[in-house]
Amino acid sequence: MHFLLTGGTGFIGQRLARRIIERGDTLTVLVRRTSKRGPLEALGARFADGDLLTGQGLTEAVKGVDCVLHLAGVTKARDEEGYIQGNTEGTRRLARAMAALPQPPRLVFCSSLAAAGPSVPGQPRREEETPAPVSRYGRSKLGGEEAVREFCDKVPSVIVRPPIVYGPGDQEFLPALLPMARRGLVLKSGLGPKHYSLIHVDDLCTALLAAAERGQTLRQDAPEVGVYMVSDGTEYRWEDFCVTLAEALGRTPPWVLPVPEALSYVVGLGSELAARVRGTVPMLSRDKVREMRCAAWTCSPDRAAKELGFTPAIPLAQGLQSALAASK
């Protein structure tokens, strides 16, 4: 099978690229001229020059492949337009280029639980529920899903929505938590309990490849068909997750300090202003705080299990150990 992979230089993309090559499949990675190709070259990947922000090179890149795995996008941006261009319009340009082919390949879009929106503790999100994103990031990922749907009559398409993804190569989730966990003090936004779904990056790669091979494709008359939530199947309280992380570090369980939501917004605003002065993207923003204040970000992988045969293989404790070992 010949795959075209976008986002191949990122956290998930590099793990997926390795999996594809190890399976014996052919891999072409969409790259810009400034992309770092070294690790992918070492794997034996091919390259296609293209830019999702302009559409340049996409028509040629999608020719002759069996499946496009679309992982490219942004998790942080200076403003809403940055999210829209990175997650919505880039996806639309790719789907449009595929639709122009006489026989378009399959498209698997790696979206996010953020596109569906938060859940309720004990009631994980399911595919048939109406999406209700609460952040710019979530709305832009939902916009990407809608862009894929625009062309699904011509392009056979599947959407995968993962929750928090962690594992070797993670540059955002665990790196932000580890300094606090090592000090024995971890923050959470708000006073109430927080519940989360998680998935190890290697399990996500398994789900994406299963979607490429066996996933039902989108239908205009049935919005839930062709959409798959994936997770390791467990709903974690934030405090319990922090205990498991501390055990992986060989530390005592940390103290979890609730931060009032109003203070979280002030900190987010301060981070935005500081980033504006530096000309960078803020690590924490008010938009991210809107996600953090929600009581639950959980999803049910039941449909993926039934239709894709997806079974997560990596429990949290083992997954954290692998991530920590890779970061040393």
DSSP 258-276: EE-HHHHHHHHHHHHHHHH
With vertex at residue 92, the alpha carbon angle to CA 86 and CA 98, rounded to the nearest 5 degrees, is: 125
Query: What is the Cα–Cα distance from 44 to 22, expressed in whole angstroms?
Result: 10
Local structure of 302: helix, strand or coil: helix
Model pLDDT for residues 6-17, shown as the tens digit of each residue: 999 999 999 999
Point out the residues of the chain with pLDDT beneath 70: none
Alpha-carbon torsion, ordered 102, 104, 66, 149, to 10 deg? 180
Lookup result for tokens 């966990």: 181
Kindly report the pTM of this predicted structure. Answer: 0.95
Question: What whole-number distance in Å separates Cα of residue 313 and Cα of residue 295?
Answer: 27
pLDDT at 271: 86
Report yes or no: 195 and 236 within 8 Å, Cβ to Cβ: yes
Which domains does the chain carry?
2-168+198-231+299-308 (3.40.50.720)
Question: pLDDT tens digits for 40-68?
Answer: 988 889 999 999 999 999 999 999 999 99
Q: Are 82 and 121 in contact (CB under 8 A)?
A: no
Q: What's the confidence (pLDDT) of residue 200? A: 98
Which burial class, exposed, middle or buried, applies to 259 when counting CB atoms under 10 A from its CB (0-12, 13-18, 19+)?
A: middle
Token pair for residue 245? 């992380």
Contacts of 306 (CB under 8 A, 6+ apart): none
Strand ranges (DSSP E) for 43-197?
A: 46-49, 67-70, 106-110, 157-161, 164-166, 185-189, 195-196
Contacts of 231 (CB under 8 A, 6+ apart): 124, 162, 163, 197, 198, 199, 298, 299, 300, 301, 312
Instruction: Count Cβ neighbours within 10 Å for each residue of 192-221 and write b for 16 or more, e otherwise.
Output: eebbbbbbbbbbbbbbbbbbbeebbbbeee
Rounded distance, CA 45 to CA 215, Å? Answer: 25
Q: Which amino acid is at 231?
A: S
pLDDT of residue 277: 86
